A = this chain, B = another copy of it.
């Protein structure tokens, strides 16, 4: 396959004609596919059916300690689910609070709490002239949406295969007291699927923030979401690294079972130091009487322990893996050597990240959409939806079936080619003009 950049104008024009014809044909198929969000597929959901039988009318609904899960109580979650979620995140049960169905909601509330009450005893962020967050990019759109809604200024930090550019992170965090946080998806990052290296984690743990109320928002969303057995990435456990570094309060870690059991009907957790958790409990105990303990118990009965949970995740992997592989194969076959795109090939998580030529991402997503394949909006992986290169596209392989994935990816590479050719022709025109 020749690199597109080396094609002459007339070669590009011929190629454009061919691709346009193919695109019109593809459009005529009337596809209706969605590769936009990290949603489990029907096969994954069907596999979880037994989960719904775990608590029934004849069940013992008491915790091991004898608390009736059908009544009020246990603000922190039932002890056995704290153990389970702690094991999932690699922390002990006294370092964790288990909440309701959404870790996003915990993250939102954690920032809302800092805005109104401050962090432990700091000045409430709403009283400050300026609050800034570091945002490794590309990243998770829903993180950026939270900080944007609270009027927090977001600063892009480039991602590398080892995690965020730590030189830059250290510089901002140590020099600017307005920098109060950083969003991280440390394992199988969204969208690239990169896992932070041990060195990156240790540099995070050793940060010396200018602001005492600086916190790392460690969204460990894919802690056990490997695609391959015995080949998964390993993430260093950050809370113990922070302790070792004398920074015990530096991290809020989040996790959930949204992609372990059911999205919307899972459970979520916050792990942190005792001092951080105690401070959070002071407001939590006013905000709610407690979480849905029956659903927590359902999780404990379903998985029994972390080994059960991990074995279970391999069933998900079996369903998801062929979809990831199918996309990668098509990308390699159709775009390898063209120089018009690069992509990640993660060993876990929910996404593949695609980099087009600069200035093409919006056009590719638009073309896909017009032919019936919905992708995550171009720009969504950047704060303020502003991708400075207009090049990043997040592919979410999990929800469609394998057949649909094949159709969607064929269309995607076609749109990449067409948009790239158009761009190259446009560049040539501009050079002439």
List A residues at the B interface (Cβ < 8 Å): 37, 39-40, 42, 45, 48-53, 55-59, 61, 68-73, 100-102, 104-105, 108-109, 112, 115-116, 124, 126-127, 142, 145-146, 149-150, 262-265, 283, 286-295
Q: A289 touches which one: B102, B115, B289 (CB < 8 A)?
A: B102
Chain B, residue nearest A99 (CB): B100
- Chain B nearest Cβ from A194, distance in angstroms: 24
Query: Quick one: given A146-B286, A283-B149, are A42 and B68 in contact (CB under 8 Å)?
Result: yes
- What is the oligomeric copy number? 2
Q: Given A124-B126, A283-B149, A57 and B49 touching (CB < 8 A)?
A: yes
How far is B73's CA from A68's CA once the two chains are assembled, in angstroms?
Answer: 31
Contact of A108 among B55, B126, B286, B290 (CB under 8 A): B286
Given A52-B55, A56-B53, A57-B49: A39 in contact with B71 (beta carbons within 8 A): yes
A-B contact list, 25 entries, CB within 8 Å: A39-B71, A39-B72, A42-B68, A45-B71, A50-B57, A51-B57, A52-B56, A52-B57, A52-B61, A70-B264, A70-B265, A100-B100, A100-B292, A104-B287, A104-B289, A115-B116, A115-B126, A126-B127, A142-B286, A146-B286, A149-B283, A264-B289, A265-B293, A265-B295, A292-B295
- Partner of A105 from the list B45, B48, B50, B287 (CB cut-off 8 Å) is B287
Report whether B45 and A264 are in contact in the complex, using a CB–CB cutoff of 8 Å.
Answer: no
Given A55-B52, A100-B101, A150-B116, answer yes or no on A72-B263 (Cβ-Cβ < 8 Å). yes
A105-B287, A112-B116, A126-B126 are known contacts. Are A264 and B52 too (CB-CB below 8 A)?
no
Q: Is B71 a contact of A263 with CB atoms below 8 Å?
A: yes
Question: What is the CB-to-nearest-CB distance from A28 to chain B, in angstroms, rounded to a whole number?
Answer: 27
The chain B residue sitting closest to A294, CB to CB, is B265
Cross-interface CB contact of A116 among B58, B68, B126, B142, cutoff 8 Å: B126
Are B116 and A71 in contact, CB atoms less than 8 angstroms apart? no
Query: CB-CB < 8 A to A42: which residues of B?
Result: 68
